[in-house]
Amino acid sequence: MKKHNFSAGPSILPDSVIKQAAAAVLNFDNMDLSLVEVSHRSPQFDAVIKKAQKLVLELAGLEGKGYEVLFLGGGASLQFLMTAYNLLPENGKAGFLDTGTWSKKAIKEADIMGNAVVLASSKDKGYNYIPKNFDIPNDLAYVHVTSNNTIFGTQIKDFPNTSIPLVADMSSDIFSKVLDFSKFDLIYAGAQKNIGASGTTLVIVKKEILDKTGRTIPSMMNYQTHISKDSLFHTPSVFSIYVSMLYMQWVKDLGGVAAMEKINDAKADLLYGEIDNNPNFVGFAAKEDRSPMNVTFTLVDESKKEHFEKLAQEAGIHAFKGHRSVGGYRASIYNAMPIESVQALVNVMKAL
Ligand SMILES: *Cc1c(COP(=O)(O)O)cnc(C)c1O
């Protein structure tokens, strides 16, 4: 039997997506060739990337609204730098909401390109909440937020209302719930959490915010390069893009992001309900900021650790240890996670 995969990333994929991807690795589109040995410029792969781009705009409700969809290399980590390279003038300022490890990394890279200003931070409480009611100065080139904090298990529920371009790292919650995606001018997400396999990063960018910095941007770092070549300026990860296309089609077939949200809420309610009702456990994140994607919790009595982890192992629970910076447990219950697996974890918690 397959394990219940709570890994934070790379993470669980829908079974049907794995099967279709495996079949395409053997014989892609009846070409009698493997997906991973055909040209990225073949008409067959061109159809894949076009379909993936279309699915992104459909799921986000952004069709015909001036957005470009890219599938780039370098992970979300390269986007920390690339967003600043493309949006921040040399002496300019960008504002950041500091909500944890990934935000800090984004701040560090932007500060190389200009001035990264921390608008608010939840560092004072070990990043267990989302700061609210902070001011946004009007001299910023853009504001950057991390929509879901994968390590700490917090999620932004209300995004800042601002006329300044809004940039979001949505790596760990993209297409998990209904959102007004048009609030954002640039969204990026490593595919390996909620929409695919590692090796590609989705970027959704409103074209009108580009070319405003006066900088000379190296070709590979310039969004315009990738827009003008439709993500084929260089050889992209053909396999990863294919998997993302299948994954987004799976979300669409379920009924889109609204249907996905219902499923995700049911899973999160089940697990948080157990954490709140079981005297053996305590949640890490402030209740109002809890992430439905990464559920962080600890044992009240550390002496039960060995027993709990043994029970979990016997039940086939995989990769639910907390990040080393937080400790305890983290159950990542992304889009592809079936509620049966969440129930399996809850059963183990009940049995303790
Ligand atoms: C995992 C993660 C990243 C880093 O992604 P890579 O693709 O490994 O560079 C960045 N931001 C968030 C929110 C993440 O969860």
Query: DSSP characters for 171-197?
Result: TTTTTSS---GGG-SEEEEEHHHHTS-
**C-alpha closest to that of 221 among 91, 74, 117:** 74
Supply the pLDDT for residue 148. 98
Please indicate whether residue 102, judged by its CB atom, sits closer than 6 Å to ligand 1. yes
Mean pLDDT, consecutive 10-residue segments, the chain of 352 residues? 94 98 98 97 97 98 98 98 97 97 98 98 98 96 98 97 97 98 98 98 98 97 97 96 98 98 98 98 98 98 97 97 92 98 98 96
Please indicate whether residue 294, judged by its CB atom, sits closer than 6 Å to ligand 1. no
Please indicate whether residue 199, judged by its CB atom, sits closer than 6 Å to ligand 1. no
Query: Could you count the other beta carbons within 10 Å of the beta carbon of residue 26?
Result: 10
Task: Name the 3-class secondary structure at 168.
Answer: strand
Supply the pLDDT for residue 83. 98
- Catalytic residue of the set 169, 173, 185, 289: 169
Strand locations in the chain (E):
4-5, 67-72, 93-98, 115-121, 140-146, 148-149, 154-155, 166-169, 186-190, 201-206, 281-283, 294-299, 317-318, 329-332
Supply the pLDDT for residue 325. 86
Q: What is the token pair recorded at 29?
A: 């589109």
**Domain made up of 256-351: CATH architecture:** Alpha-Beta Complex (3.90)
- Residue 169 annotated among the catalytic residues of the structure: yes
The protein residue whose alpha carbon is closest to atom 14 in ligand 1 is 171
- Catalytic residue of the set 104, 177, 193, 267: 193
Sheet with 281-283, edge to edge strand ranges: 281-283, 294-299, 329-332
Q: Are 100 and 291 in contact (CB under 8 A)?
A: no
Domain edges within the chain: 15-254, 256-351
Please indicate whether residue 76, judged by its CB atom, sits closer than 6 Å to ligand 1. yes
From ligand 1's centre to the CA of 150, what distance in Å? 8
- Catalytic residue of the set 98, 102, 206, 267: 102
Q: Are 232 and 49 in contact (CB under 8 A)?
A: yes
Query: First CA to last CA across the chain, in angstroms?
Result: 23
Q: What are the Cα distances from residue 292, in Å, to 6, 162, 259?
A: 13, 25, 14
- Residue 250 annotated among the catalytic residues of the structure: no
- The DSSP code sequence of 19-79 is HHHHHHHHSSTTSSS-GGGS-TTSHHHHHHHHHHHHHHHHHHT-TTSSEEEEEESSHHHHH
Pairing status of strand 154-155 against strand 140-146 = unpaired
Please indicate whether residue 160, judged by its CB atom, sits closer than 6 Å to ligand 1. no
Q: Which helix (H) or strand (E) holds 80?
A: helix 75-87
Do 15-254 and 256-351 come out as alike in CATH topology?
no
Is 15-254 assigned to CATH 3.40.640.10?
yes
From ligand 1's centre to the CA of 333, what distance in Å? 16
The protein residue whose alpha carbon is closest to atom 5 in ligand 1 is 76
Which residues contact residue 137 at a Cβ distance below 8 angstroms, ignoring those fewer than 6 apart?
Answer: 93, 95, 117
- Share of the chain residues as helix, strand and coil, in percent rounded to the nearest 5: 40, 20, 40
- Residue 29 annotated among the catalytic residues of the structure: no
Please indicate whether residue 77, judged by its CB atom, sits closer than 6 Å to ligand 1. yes
From ligand 1's centre to the CA of 71, what distance in Å? 15
Please indicate whether residue 128, judged by its CB atom, sits closer than 6 Å to ligand 1. no
Please indicate whether residue 244, judged by its CB atom, sits closer than 6 Å to ligand 1. no
